Structure 1
Amino acid sequence: MSFARLSRSARESVSGLPRAFWWLWASTLVNRLGAFVATFMTLYLTLERGYSASFAGLVAALHGLGGVVSSLGAGVMADRLGRRPTMLVAQVSTAGSVALLGFMEHPAAIAAVALLVGMTSNASRPAVQAMMADIVRPEDRVRAFALNYWAINLGFAVSSTAAGLIAEYSYLAGFLGEAALTLLCAVLVFVKLPESRPEPVKGAEGAAEDGSRIGLGGVLRDGRFMGVVGLSFLISLIYTQGSVGLPVAMGSAGFSPGEYGLVIAVNGVLIVALQLPVTRFIEHRDPRRLLVVSALLVGYGFALTAFAGPLWAYALTVCVWTLAEIVNAPTQTELVVRLSPVQGRGRYQGVYTMSWAVASLVAPLMSGFVIDRYGAGWLWATTGVLGTVAGAGYWFLMRGLPGRAEDRGASGGAPAAGTAPAPVAAAPTAQAPAEA
């Protein structure tokens, strides 16, 4: 491919998106550039503080539990208070709690603040996804979600490298650095991003007869959407094995932590290199087929680990399930938006985010139990089964799903910066009375 063609493809990938989206994208990148705690929490507790691996695992679990707790509450806040206030509260709270964690010494205090960090750091995600759906035209959403996912991985790739160097100098500097970057993210949101929450309109999609917003109970009663949440949980269980099951299996096979680091780095490198061109290829294709194929690829990609011997073979399996991740992430996020009524986007995104948070709790327990009792081979066989179940689930669940808004002839442009978009009809979904 010529340089001119690559340049044209890059321009097409980023063109046509509203200015507010790019400020939201920039805030995501800045946020992920400071991801120190999630990367080095275990090493900090065991090497710097001298605690046991069991205590470090407990703290990591509490951090994940905080994310589960905050997902639903943050989704409700995004719909009730607005996307912008929710992000500001979450980011300022995250900065304060991360800085505080760096000074904690008593085990109970460390555990309690880690729970708080998990709650606050996860709270902005439903609001970010809801705002992105508000400000981006339906036909551009897959591309927008892919660009956001690319920023997340680019930021994490840079931060994980920098965090390693910072940790050699001072772990406290890492905590304070993450707090500072999170505050910078809040400043970007405060200065550059207008509120995007659609105002309740009587008779609008997702609103009750009096124009109030759909309640959390209505989300939980939406059968098709909760089916997607369940499938997302299965996919998340598989993906999380890259950070919990794979290092254990490679360690048992005689590989060093450094060799595992090289193998897992393939994941980030491929996402940064391929996310945008692959998204250009898939963004107007049938999402049902994309989700089925990606579910099978991730399941069988991890299942192939059972047959990996040399280091390059492990890296090859990572290539397979990373390709699935590149396809699945923007496609599934766009599907959630299509199933979400305009007036309930925050709550829907909160429930969807919770599926990943719960998986981050269950996956370590699952991998530890299966490996200890039956061996790593059975864990990889289990991922293949889960991928097959998820693929079949997507195939049946998405039968009769209306096409994307642009496929049905909908029109609409992104709102100008500084203005809130008018409600736009979303894909039909279960209606429910408004709730508190």
Structure 2
Amino acid sequence: MTSITATTGSGTGRTVRVVINKEAALPATYWYLWTGLLINRLGGFAVLFLSLYLTAQRGASPALAGLIAGAYGIGGVGGTLLGGVLTDRWGRRPTLLAAHFGAAALLVALALTTSLPVIAGLTLLLGVVHAAPQPAFVAAIIDVVPPELRSRAFNLQFWAFNLGLAGASLLAGLLASWSYSGMFLLDAGSTLVTALLLLWKVRETRRPARAPMAKGLSVPLTDRIFLVFVGLTLLQALLYSQTNTIIPLAIAADGLDPRVYGLVTALSGTMIAVGQLLVPRLIDGRRKDRVLAAALAVMAAGFALVTWADGAVLYLVAAAVWTVGSMLAAPPNAEINSELAPAELRGRYQAVFFLTFPAASFLAPALGGAGLQAFGAGHWLIVAGVGLAGAVLHLVAGPARERRVIGTGGGGRHPSP
């Protein structure tokens, strides 16, 4: 809790004390959104085993299974953009409800379908409706949470996302050995529970636009300050995507047991589950560009350690370091995104921001695989260099972002042409 004391009135000696309580409770609507996100992630186990389901149960070749699974990713890109536009035009609540009810229906259809072409089409549509709620979730959180509490809100959101993902991974392994069709049906059930919770407890949070809205994505795609921030977020996503694409290859190249990679991912997930709630105490009150610069520098140090890793211990140390960096980066990334977006275009700004993650999931294995083949262990020094460059660029770009936020009261605005 902090207080500001000021004297007002000419010669009156009146003193006004303003108290800002950083431990104030988050709004109830936020917690319903948070609970819906957690349930949704916990239930999101079917897609994790999609490729195995296609090969083991539907007779697809590995190549065909990869193409069908890739359709999910393509749908995700389209769904992210569609969700952003609908979030601003329809509203947060209608977008969330349409996406969740649609996803539940598609998961039931996947459980009952045996035709591979139909499964491919359903998988593409599932990618759309799974990605569409992301901009709406975040836009609704920004709508209902005051700026001084957003760091804590986004930190808890990141924690719930990772906790749900860890739980889904555990459940997927258990359910896949029981029944793939049952796995899809249980996923549909958890999605339906989320939809009903949102229908029951969450009202529309979007405020009426003060001026006619721009069409399409023209405003965020011409907002230079925002696009610089998105580009730096892409660099961070490229770094973190190494952990599930190229790190497994490096571990295998060192002749280590695949269980080492399992330990690495388990350590990272455990650190986030245990430590993420402590992050706000470390970063509150600090300039966000400096926090992000420090986060990227820490991530760079973690990947640099992989250069010398040849056993499980050093891989685990490296994982601990890069995980700390990613934990520090999550809240300020979300806060900056919320501050730069005009209120009436929050969904579209979120959509463009979220595109960095599918882009990184494509670029990281493509560039990382070539880098590892060409440079061997030296690849990790290049990755570390990218992280350090991102840290410097955050410090360079930060002042312009801060001036923009201060000039608009933290609510975003249409950028000047």
The share of aligned pairs that are identical, in percent, is: 35
Q: Deviation at 1:409?
A: 12
Q: How does 1:396-407 map to 2 (within 5 A)?
A: 396-402=396-402
Q: Distance in 2 between matches of 1:273 and 1:404?
A: 35
Q: Distance in 2 between matches of 1:64 and 1:343?
A: 28
Amino acid at match of 1:250: I
Q: Distance in 1 between matches of 2:23 and 2:97?
A: 26
- What TM-score does the superposition give when structure 1 sets the normalisation length? 0.85
**Residue of structure 2 equivalent to 1:246:** 247
C-alpha distance 13-153 of structure 1, shift in aligned 2 (>3 A): farther
Q: For 1:98, which of 98, 104, 107 is the aligned residue?
A: 107
Amino acid at match of 2:374: Y
Which stretch has the larger CA shift, 27-36 or 359-368? 359-368
C-alpha distance 62-33 of structure 1, shift in aligned 2 (>3 A): same
Q: Distance in 2 between matches of 1:238 and 1:38?
A: 24
1:150/1:272 contact within 8 Å kept: yes
The question of 1:426 aligning with 2:387 is answered: no
Q: For 1:177, which of 160, 172, 186 is the aligned residue?
A: 186
| Residue-by-residue CA offset, 1:16-61 (whole Å, 9 max, x unaligned) | 2111100011001100111213422233334444544433333333
Q: Deviation at 1:429?
A: 5.2
Q: Distance in 2 between matches of 1:54 and 1:314?
A: 31
Which stretch has the larger CA shift, 54-63 or 92-101? 54-63
Which stretch has the larger CA shift, 101-110 or 384-393? 101-110
Q: How does 1:71-90 map to 2 (within 5 A)?
A: 71-90=80-99
C-alpha distance 404-311 of structure 1, shift in aligned 2 (>3 A): farther
Structure with more contact order per residue of length (Cα contacts < 8 Å, sep ≥ 6): 1
Q: Deviation at 1:255?
A: 2.7
The question of 1:257 aligning with 2:258 is answered: yes
SS in structure 2 of the partner of residue 217 of structure 1:
coil
| Residue-by-residue CA offset, 1:49-74 (whole Å, 9 max, x unaligned) | 45444333333332222111121111
- What TM-score does the superposition give when structure 2 sets the normalisation length? 0.89
SS in structure 2 of the partner of residue 199 of structure 1:
coil
2:102/2:129 contact within 8 Å kept: yes
RMSD (CA atoms): 2.3
Q: How does 1:12-161 map to 2 (within 5 A)?
A: 15-161=24-170
Q: Distance in 1 between matches of 2:392 and 2:114?
A: 49
Q: Distance in 1 between matches of 2:22 and 2:173?
A: 32
The structure with the largest alpha-carbon Rg is 2
1:42/1:56 contact within 8 Å kept: yes
1:13/1:143 contact within 8 Å kept: no
Give the length in aligned residue pairs.
396
Q: Distance in 2 between matches of 1:392 and 1:224?
A: 16
Gap regions ≥5 residues in structure 1: 1-11, 202-210, 411-424
Q: Distance in 2 between matches of 1:34 and 1:278?
A: 26
Q: Deviation at 1:363?
A: 2.1
Q: Deviation at 1:15?
A: 4.5
2:58/2:116 contact within 8 Å kept: no
**Residue of structure 2 equivalent to 1:6:** none
| Residue-by-residue CA offset, 1:140-174 (whole Å, 9 max, x unaligned) | 00110010111111111122112111111112211
Q: Distance in 2 between matches of 1:133 and 1:427?
A: 11
Q: Distance in 1 between matches of 2:407 and 2:275?
A: 29
Q: Distance in 1 between matches of 2:65 and 2:254?
A: 24
C-alpha distance 33-103 of structure 1, shift in aligned 2 (>3 A): same
**Residue of structure 1 equivalent to 2:226:** 225
2:40/2:194 contact within 8 Å kept: yes
| Residue-by-residue CA offset, 1:198-224 (whole Å, 9 max, x unaligned) | 1112xxxxxxxxx11244201111001
Q: Distance in 2 between matches of 1:271 and 1:108?
A: 39
Q: Distance in 2 between matches of 1:240 and 1:50?
A: 30
Amino acid at match of 1:213: M
Q: Distance in 2 between matches of 1:135 and 1:165?
A: 38
Q: For 1:191, which of 181, 188, 200 is the aligned residue?
A: 200
Gap regions ≥5 residues in structure 2: 1-20
Q: Deviation at 1:285?
A: 1.1
Q: Distance in 2 between matches of 1:175 and 1:328?
A: 33
**Residue of structure 2 equivalent to 1:387:** 387
Q: Distance in 2 between matches of 1:237 and 1:267?
A: 17
The question of 1:348 aligning with 2:349 is answered: yes
